[in-house]
Amino acid sequence: MSARILNGEAFASQIHLTTATRVAALRDRGITLGLVFIRVGEDPASRAYVSRKETRAKEVGISSRTLVLPESTSLAALLKEIDALNADPKVHGILIQSPLPSGLPNDIVYARVSPAKDVDGFHPVNFGKLLIGDPTGFLPCTPAGILEILRLGQIPTAGKHAVVVGRGQIVGRPLAVLLGRKSPGADCTVTVAHSRTPDLPSITRQADILIGALGRPLFLTQEHIRPGATVIDVGVNRIPDPSSPRGYRLVGDIDFASVQSIAGAITPNPGGVGPMTIALLLSNTVRAAEDATR
């Protein structure tokens, strides 16, 4: 048996079509969407990620630009740039590309972005709205993208046991909340585990839906998977690879080669969660513009 592939690229294309239609409707009203990425430093992975987001934004008709600041940028200088974008009515969405250089605290920087322009869904106000089920907040893009993968992949969720391996604020914790909500596409019984959970395989093998989001390369292997389970791989990890011109390759948290033969459905990596994260980012940007211009 080989698992059914949950093709994030194909699912993202469906969402992009809807997003492009909404962008066109705004354009007909004379509204040009503005999305600004802030990148501090020259981290190669960050440069590649932002470039990919800019390309997708252009494809759906969203005008985007990247504000590139030097690695040595102070917290005060970065916050001043964010304040200027918050005050600019032509900017509907602001995204701070992670990772930030050491010395720039994520919590302070993310909290400075206006909640109304926080299309990444990281602001404490939006996180609080997620926790209480307030639909006026922006959902974080990766967790929301995972729910869309389950929906578009026709994976049953109601009453299923979802195990999220990873407790981070960007993916693990918000995803656990979303999966446990009383709503279509959720209604799961949710367990949050992590790398220090004793006898982790005994927990993960209970999962109907297993999500790897702990940031450890190839950490979850065949011993962690119940046959027939749906497996979602969030991880993006570099491992050495002398055969690659870059000297490394990117892998997920799931050992795809060993897991594919027993899982019922699985996301590839790359080509699974990543494209959906971008799709939800652009959808959030359109919603920000729609809300701002009502």
**Catalytic residue of the set 118, 120, 208, 233:** 120
Rounded CA separation 277/8 (Å): 9
The tally of CA atoms less than 13 A away on the side-chain side of residue 90 is 5
Rounded CA separation 82/92 (Å): 13
The DSSP secondary-structure symbol of 222 reads: G
Rounded CA separation 44/250 (Å): 13
Rounded CA separation 272/224 (Å): 20
Q: How many CB atoms lie within 10 A of CB 179?
A: 25
Rounded CA separation 254/260 (Å): 10
**SS3 category, 37:** strand
In the annotation, is 97 catalytic?
A: yes
Name the nearest CA neighbour of 104 among 66, 77, 122: 77
In the annotation, is 134 catalytic?
A: no
In the annotation, is 120 catalytic?
A: yes
DSSP H or E stretch at residue 178: helix 172-180
**Catalytic residue of the set 53, 117, 129, 160:** 53
**Catalytic residue of the set 97, 160, 253, 255:** 97
Q: Which residues are catalytic?
A: 53, 97, 120
